[in-house]
Chain A
Amino acid sequence: MTNMTISRAPGQPIYLDYQATTPCDPRVVEKMLPYFTEKFGNPHSRNHRYGWEAEEAVEIAREQVADIIGADAKEIIFTSGATESNNLAIKGVAHFYKDKRDHIVTVVTEHKCVLDTCRHLEQEGFRVTYLPVGPDGLIDLAELEAAVTDKTVLVSVMGVNNEIGVIQPMAEIGAICRKKGAFFHTDCAQAVGKIPLDVNAMNIDLMSISGHKLYGPKGVGALYVRRRPRVRLVPLINGGGQERGMRSGTLSTPLCVGLGEACRLAKAEMGAESERLHMLRDRLLNGLRQRLPEIYVNGDLDRRIPGNINISFAFVEGEGLMMGVKDLAVSSGSACTSASLEPSYVLRALGLDAEMAHTSLRFGLGRFTTEAEIDYAVNHVAEAVEHLRAMSPLWEMHLDGVDIKSIEWAEH
């Protein structure tokens, strides 16, 4: 299997949507395959050898997951994915400590599932503070410090944003939480394998991990739960008592093995891969800037994972632009909400106007992205934007020196 078959299959556009999902690395699939066939077995079944083999494989995988974040294997719980991990961490901790503390701090640009979980908790009587972000997409640490009180049980801040790729100051957040006695949960679905993480150095108490964002399989994730000092939580899915009682249900040996191998590969290759993606992203951005005026990077450019760039193309409309870049699989807004016509709430939170939020594209670069693909993408996007601007009344006004904001539009 060559790299090209992964990001470019016959009749399929070039895949530049690595924040929506990554294909499984063929090396990961290779490690998983034996557990589909001759080594299949229920890891909870200690009655016979297939069960033992499966259990051993799951424990090796657990160590590999722990290793990439500097944790102990005993602190890793396998789940069905980051959405479940986020739900389990936030609800689980909130419910366990609800008699002592009833306040949660999170951020307006968190993933939908974190925000939804917090809203559920609000309905149950918890108080939630939603911190704003600056135009760079990052939180203000002073604001965080002011928001955390002795009633705050949990601070949930994502490591890397799924739409704009910016990296929150995790160590600083961790230090504030530790000082104030609040637990620090971080959704690191987009961060693990992309940037170095250390749960101890960063004082992280709970971390959500996703398989299919780091070239592992879909359908598996993990939750890191600190043991010292111990974090306790109420399980979300009960019955069976697997995963130290925190998560019931038969573990899938191949999925766990796949996540473990994906973590191992990501850790081993992180340095070189970051450098390569950085080069490709600069090539993309510089190429577009050379061809097109009036384009804007959303979120901080430097404090960002190298595989992401989110750009607004002024004076063209987002859906029309998507139609024009049909040779690329890119996303406007996040994958979960992309079927809706609403502009991205993350971009709005940066202070972008609705029209600029409408006209953004997220380019997700990854392990199988090539230089040739980037060059193709630059030309393809530039042509589409030029085509659309040539027929855009707003671009015409801009060239004529008309301030579009000065026009009183009839909003319909």
Chain B
Amino acid sequence: MDVDVTASAYLDHNAGSPPRPEVVAAVAEVLCEAGNPSSVHAWGRRARARMEAARAAVARLLDADPAGLVFTSGGTEANALALAGCRRPRILVSAVEHASVLVHATGTVPVDGDGRVDLAALDRMLADGGDPAVVSVMLANNETGVIQPVADVAAVAHAHGALVHCDAAQAPGRMALSLSGLGVDFLTLSAHKLGGLPGAGALLSADPDFTLTPVLPGGGQERRRRAGTENLPGIVGFGVAADDIRRRNAILETGDLRDRLEARAQALVPAARIVGRSAPRLCNTSCIALPGVPASVQVMALDLAGVMVSAGAACSSGRVTESAVLRAMGLAADIAGSAIRVSLGPDSRPAEIELFLTHWAELARRKGLDVKEAAQAA
């Protein structure tokens, strides 16, 4: 990334990470190549070989069988393919899911104060009987980083004969991952959340032979599970990014940096509140409330200072609205309305954290909050 970190800080990795240089190089190379993976001539065969290598790389990230991996145009389509494609009339999702999962729901499973699924409630909902069900619970929340007890969800759901889908878009590179360890039937990944490019995603099925009804029918691609010429450059970049994550394994370093950020923030502004701090979380995400200062005000002030963070999720029409996730967690309005998300990437540097803290504490002081020590860049 060519951002000058002395003047700016990109701390919005949960909205999308800048692609790795090796990803950009691989994508640029493949873009200039002719060749449709469905063609049988040499150009087509080379394109197919590149695609299958990427499929294997992405599957390896989860120790999964590449045969069960369908490439899609992104996480939203992968979620639709799982939830509409598995043909279960009852679709139960947690209250803190991404909009692309919530839209399929026939019922929502409540969460506790940390935003974690209420397993007893899920058990009761499934025990009520009714139509065959699929349960969808995200692995980690995009706004708070809180990790769901997905393996427990899967155990409860499977005990009732339900299928389980997990949107794991935010997880790769930020926590250890394995498809069999999670015990879910379907799992969604998004390339641009893990250092690839937007425009590519994947749905993994634990059973490669599970028949999914395609969202996009009309061609033999992806073993008839998804028609349309594949986004080969995006898929190749996805594979390179996945390999890069496995090779670098920067989870601990990022976690240290995030913990230092939170400790310093809390020390600087005692009134600040870190949302979900007591729950297991992704190593890179911090959701920080500054009571009394609207999140939108913080985001704009920080942006003017060259610090990029976000409030609420970046989807829909882009409007900054009060977070539905934080409300579902039962947070008071002044906390939910004043929470911003600071999300780190594997290349985030201490200087970026300091830049954020300096301007954030300065804003808190201007808004009349008690600030303990002089906020200065280290």
In the complex where A55-B318, A238-B100, A248-B100 touch, is A37 in contact with B18 (Cβ < 8 A)?
Answer: yes
B167 CB to closest chain A CB, in angstroms? 11
In the complex where A83-B228, A116-B217 touch, is A47 in contact with B310 (Cβ < 8 A)?
Answer: yes
- Is B41 a contact of A219 with CB atoms below 8 Å? no
In the complex where A45-B15, A336-B221 touch, is A218 in contact with B38 (Cβ < 8 A)?
Answer: no
In the complex where A6-B32, A24-B32 touch, is A45 in contact with B12 (Cβ < 8 A)?
Answer: yes
Across the interface, name the chain A residue whose C-beta is closest to B315: A240
**Majority DSSP secondary structure for residues of B touching A:** loop
- Is B315 a contact of A24 with CB atoms below 8 Å? no
Measured between beta carbons, the chain B residues less than 8 angstroms from A251 are 198
- Is B228 a contact of A80 with CB atoms below 8 Å? yes
Q: Does B19 contact A (CB under 8 A)?
A: yes
Q: Does A48 contact B (CB under 8 A)?
A: yes
The complex places the Cα of A338 from the Cα of B35 at a distance, in Å, of: 14
Q: How many residues of B contact A (CB 8 A)?
A: 78
In the complex where A21-B35, A47-B314 touch, is A84 in contact with B216 (Cβ < 8 A)?
Answer: yes
Q: Does B5 contact A (CB under 8 A)?
A: no
- Is A330 a contact of B303 with CB atoms below 8 Å? no
Stretch among B60-68, B120-128, B203-211, B230-238 lining the A interface: B230-238
B314 CB to closest chain A CB, in angstroms? 4
The complex places the Cα of A83 from the Cα of B3 at a distance, in Å, of: 37
Question: Within the complex, which residue of A7, A236, A252 is in contact with B34, where a contact is CB–CB below 8 Å?
Answer: A7
**Cβ < 8 Å to B, chain A residues 43-61:** 44-51, 55
Name the residue among A18, A47, A81, A339 with the largest chain B CB count within 10 angstroms: A47
Stretch among A26-34, A141-149, A169-177 lining the B interface: A26-34
- Is B24 a contact of A36 with CB atoms below 8 Å? yes
Across the interface, name the chain B residue whose C-beta is closest to A30: B28
Q: How many residues of A contact B (CB 8 A)?
A: 84
In the complex where A46-B318, A48-B308, A84-B73 touch, is A331 in contact with B39 (Cβ < 8 A)?
Answer: yes
The complex places the Cα of A236 from the Cα of B289 at a distance, in Å, of: 37
Measured between beta carbons, the chain B residues less than 8 angstroms from A15 are 34-35, 43
Across the interface, name the chain B residue whose C-beta is closest to A15: B34
Measured between beta carbons, the chain B residues less than 8 angstroms from A252 are 74, 192, 197-199, 234
- Is A338 a contact of B197 with CB atoms below 8 Å? no
Stretch among B101-109, B360-368, B370-378 lining the A interface: B101-109
Measured between beta carbons, the chain B residues less than 8 angstroms from A114 are 218
- Is A250 a contact of B31 with CB atoms below 8 Å? no
Q: Does A42 contact B (CB under 8 A)?
A: yes
Q: Does B272 contact A (CB under 8 A)?
A: no
Across the interface, name the chain A residue whose C-beta is closest to B300: A47
Across the interface, name the chain B residue whose C-beta is closest to A253: B198
The complex places the Cα of A328 from the Cα of B229 at a distance, in Å, of: 21
Across the interface, name the chain B residue whose C-beta is closest to A249: B76
**Cβ < 8 Å to A, chain B residues 293-337:** 299, 302-303, 308-311, 314-320
Question: Within the complex, which residue of B27, B220, B302, B318 is in contact with A51, where a contact is CB–CB below 8 Å?
Answer: B318
Q: Identify 9 new A-B residue pairs, CB closer than 8 A, beyond the known A23-B34, A41-B16.
A: A47-B314, A48-B12, A81-B231, A84-B73, A217-B231, A239-B102, A240-B98, A240-B315, A335-B36
6 interchain pairs, CB-CB under 8 A: A12-B42, A47-B12, A113-B228, A114-B218, A218-B229, A239-B101
Across the A-B interface, the 8 shortest Cβ-Cβ residue pairs: A219-B231, A113-B218, A239-B100, A83-B228, A80-B73, A252-B199, A249-B76, A252-B198
